Amino acid sequence: MMNAKVHQLLNTQINKEFYSAYLYLDFSNYFKARGLDGFANWYMVQAQEERDHAMLFYQYLQNENQDVTLDAIAKPDKTFTCDMDVLKAGLEHEEYVTSLINDIYAAAYDVKDFRTMQFLDWFVKEQGEEETNANDLITKMELFGSDPRSLYMLNQELAARVYTAPSLVL
């Protein structure tokens, strides 16, 4: 039987992952309106990843014969004044998600729920990659964003990103 606190945190994480998808769709909308289709694509791929992350938590709970409760997904409410604000909000959000994953891992560790810890290992690694990607995007924007030609090239680079479903086996 899964510990009640671990179960509750895992269930809540489903909602947090779906919110992440909403947030990145909002970011994609922002960049699409600015004519930066590559940036819009990059965040559309991010949104797809977050939806899949939610479904991994969903499937894990079902596989463990645990109830899943779906809650309302909050509307993103940030207003941005420049492109860099969006990128920094993305990094801040990834750091927040990392803290949530760490909290679930710590709760599982406290009750020796090794199966959940093993499940979360992939997410721990994934969050490291997500934070690195967000940091790298900020660095590139700082280096190239003020030059229209360089911004065009960066936009083209981001347009080439394609979605790859996670390879985590449950």
Percent of the chain clearing pLDDT 90 (strictly above): 92
User: Domain spans of the chain?
Assistant: 4-159
DSSP assignment of 68-90 equals --PPPPPPP----SSHHHHHHHH
pLDDT tens-digit series, residues 83-142: 999 999 999 999 999 999 999 999 999 999 999 999 999 999 999 999 999 999 999 999
* Whether the predicted model's global pTM rises above the 0.85 cut: yes
pLDDT band, very low/low/confident/very high, at 166 (cuts 50, 70, 90): confident
User: 4-159: which CATH number, 3.40.50.2000, 3.20.20.140, 1.20.1530.20, 1.20.1260.10?
Assistant: 1.20.1260.10
